[in-house]
Structure 1
């Protein structure tokens, strides 16, 4: 059976003179639609056409096909025809019951091919990991946190290579008292999460953690949140925090650094190497949930103490800042004090931002320029840019395509080295998760898989371009050993065919497709010299091995 891919459904037009003679008792047949399918395992541009027709008098029907290139046939309702490349064709069918003929039904076929130019000699960022936050259910619930199905989905299906968790405030509920068995409001004991983290560690997944709030006893307001119950704000930082300020006490910086160091040590003792740590999630915001407010100078001061502590202990765990969101100048203000001080610059392992509302796809879009600007802060020092949290994409195909374009923009213009979704799994699929606790997966999961599965840690983004008029947004990555290449083609336009060009391409690719009806399905092997069909509104991944 041939592998096929449905292209288009087009509406008919009628020709003059084909109407029924009202004086005749016979009624003409009607063509409802013609389905057009490209046969992927046949010579390029071999199409199958399937006409659906009915006759009100239930008579036998004959079909006359005109392929628009001089060819025609009477071979029934299902026919195939090979077309010459680089042209546009009008294919027509007439259906007859022997006494009357239907109106003409026509579909348009294009065999025009756009060029995708690949330059593997161009090198941009190196990928550190792709993934998301959390376990099977969120850490402030009662679970489940990691059954074998969930672990298999992450490792063997999605291909996740980086996981983000939180450093729970109940790790040190009292000064100097560290207990992995302690349960607190909204938090299971830390040891509850060890089996999941150990499974990730054994699979080579990079584990990163973020602090949402220091323990309440370290904070000026004596709480892990802002105390409002339902309100959020971005207050001005108070350098002398009082009891109403959701801030870390100035005399607790050393205690905080010690807590972070013990956390890394405890994980290590249980076979878990923490790849990186954020000392505060979204530090400009005071939230009704776990949060703590800093300005750039305060974050710099804390980074200095935590960095010194890690260095003295010989820890290899990276520190990343600021995990901020939104306003570009606000993010800049959180980053620059640490970059401009020679004492803290070595401790900035990555600049991490939360990618909400960054989804423009052209170089001159505000979002693309925002990504370029953020990348430019760390680039002179060789500091990578990470995107460590995003969500809010609607749970439908429009949301999935928006996610794909947001990822393109971040990789292409921000040169990001890590991408993590918030959150991987929740009790029910919503705009904040990729799947639910039972393994039901959203279309956003499969769009993510187009990236996660074959863009591996250590891969380097190379050069690739497409004509902007095609609305194709391309990316290409290669592994440092030169054994694999991954091409991702986001088609935000109409059905179209493309041809890859460039030196050193593999002879063939495995093609995977995701669209509103197809969930990262393998289309099969395709020679790199053959035209590749990109259906409208779709994401295609090509994976080649040398």
Structure 2
């Protein structure tokens, strides 16, 4: 299920008329009025950002990124995306662990946090002795902890320091592929009685519900024993889930969106118009924007490398190994809003109708402005309460351009920017 938000903006520029006799000999005062003014307020802060990321090729080795593709994904130079989280699958078969070392090590070179998610425990520990469906037998909870800890040890021995590990990918989705069913009660019991035995070098993520189900997630958070073992409330956005999680915030748990994708609902990507694909990309950006406004700490897309994703896989007319339009669009968050930045408040003198979030790190202020409509917004003045800035840069991506760089005019300690229709723009003030 996809949500599409349409916001229509009408801008009227009123001409100025003289009310008296015109005297061309009198000096004319410069018109410094602006259509809109946005004032950033660094004194009011919200969540700390953990990062933005994407997943390894979970079921397809050909979708594992190469060394060059990993640099394009996690590097910070021109033409690179600056991702800061890499999600990998935790295989139930230890014989498959070795193949994860190369992509995880390469991503970690760029400072990426590694999140490991299991699709199934070892089948011998389950009710049906099968990788598909079934549930983890309570008498095997100890052995499952041993399995998780063995993976953590193996990765560390091979140079990969896991940041976080999940209990189960989509425990509430009755999948017909590798999976495992968990109820909230089962996961509470596991966390309460065995969570403390999971190696404390890593953070624990749960429940990774299909659509960030409030009932499932809050059941874990409302159980004191389970919540004590849980570090990150994680979930996906398939069919819903974009909402605030006040209980997670009250209990000082990070909130991570760990999987989502949009692919024209399995439509023909090759023959779809660039406008159709760009509109879906704007929908993706809107979901990132909303997640940030709900105080979520991280947003992780599905496959890093796929025809509908960030780096082309050679299918559906894409060029293998190239950063695609959707990658440049996502980079407006991932490249400029780094782990440790804080989201901050801002005020508009008149509503622009744009989707705006703002962030701070030391003396640097960052804004991401999404304009989902075809109407441009001109002469927006941006100020920062209690702060002066000497440089202002803007980077814009539209259907026709990728990360176009512009130095903004600064007047009376305000940066002046025009926002193109159907665009995403990142503004940096220093």
TM over 0.5: yes
Report the secondary structure of 2:46's partner residue.
coil
Native 8 Å contact 2:74 2:82 kept in 1: yes
Name the residue aligned to 1:146: 65
Matches within 5 A, 1:323-362: 323-326=208-211, 331-357=213-239
1:383 to 234, 253, 269: 253
- 1:418 aligns with 298
Where does residue 221 of structure 1 map in the other structure? 128
Q: Aligned residue for 2:39? A: 117
User: Contact 1:485/1:544 (CA < 8 Å) preserved in 2?
Assistant: yes
Q: Which has the greater radius of gyration?
A: 1
Counterparts of residues 63-74 of structure 1 (less than 5 Å): none
Q: Could you say which residue in structure 2 is the equivalent of 1:513?
A: 396
Matched, 1:399 2:244: no
Give deviations 1:200-225, integer Å, cap 9, x for gaps. 22322110111111121111112111
2:378 matches 1:459? no
Please give the alpha-carbon distance, in whole angstroms, between the structure 1 residues aligned to 2:418 and 2:218. Answer: 46
- Judge conservation of contact 1:393–1:400 (CA < 8 Å) in 2: no
- Secondary structure of 1:277's aligned partner: strand
Cα gap change, 1:192/1:121 in structure 2, threshold over 3 Å: closer, same or farther? same
Aligned to 1:168: 91
In the alignment, which residue of structure 2 is the partner of 1:318? 203
> Equivalent residues in 2 for 1:292-307 (5 A)?
292-307=180-195
How far off is 1:192 after superposition?
1.6
**Given that residues 408 and 416 in structure 2 are in contact (C-alpha distance below 8 angstroms), is that contact kept between their aligned partners in structure 1?**
no
The residue that corresponds to 2:137 in the other structure is 249
Q: Is the 8 A contact 1:128 1:458 kept in 2?
A: yes
Alignment partners' CA distance in 2, 1:299 and 1:280: 9
Among 200, 208, 224, the residue aligned to 2:107: 200
- Distance in 2 between the 1:466 and 1:263 partners? 49
Aligned to 1:33: none
8 Å Cα contact 1:213-1:225 kept in structure 2: yes
Cα distance in 1 for residues equivalent to 2:263 and 2:63: 25
Aligned length: 380
Task: Label 1:495 to 1:144 Cα distance change in 2 as closer, same or farther (>3 A).
Answer: closer
Distance 1:499 1:442, change over 3 A: same
Q: In structure 2, the residue corresponding to 1:124 is in which secondary structure?
A: strand
- The structure, 1 or 2, with the larger RCO (C-alpha pairs under 8 Å, 6+ apart) is 2
Aligned to 1:280: 168
5+ residue gaps in structure 2?
Answer: 1-12, 18-29, 270-276, 314-319
Q: Tell me the SS of whatever aligns to 1:522.
A: strand
1:483 lines up with 2:348 in the alignment: no
Q: How does 1:183-194 map onto structure 2 within 5 Å?
A: 189-194=96-101
Hey, what's the Cα distance between the residues in 2 that align with 1:142 and 1:339? 36
State the SS of the aligned residue for 1:444. Answer: helix
The Cα shift of 1:526 comes to 4.1
- Aligned partners of 1:466 and 1:473 also within 8 Å: no
> Does the Cα contact within 8 Å between 1:304 and 1:343 map onto a contact in 2?
yes
Alpha-carbon spacing, 1:250–1:382, altered in 2? closer, same or farther (3 Å): same
Change (3 A) 1:409 1:144: closer
**TM-score scaled by length of structure 2:** 0.82
Partners of 1:507 and 1:529 within 8 A in 2: no
Normalising by the residue count of structure 1, what TM-score does the alignment of the two structures yield?
Answer: 0.66
Contact 1:130 1:161 in 2 (8 A): yes
CA contact (8 A) 2:235 2:258 kept: yes
Compared CA separation, residues 468 and 192, structure 1 to 2 (3 A): farther
Residue 154 of structure 1: CA displacement?
A: 1.2
CA distance in 1, matches of 2:102, 2:418: 43
Q: In the TM superposition, what whole-angstrom CA distance separates every residue of 1:43-72 from its partner, at most 9, and x where no partner exists?
A: xx9xxxxxxxxxxxxxxxxxxxxxx999xx
| Structure 2: distance between partners of 1:439 and 1:351 | 33
In 2, distance between residues paired with 1:292 and 1:399?
31
Which whole-Å deviations, capped at 9, do the CAs of 1:377-417 have from their partners, x for residues lacking one? 211111121111111154611011111111111101x2010
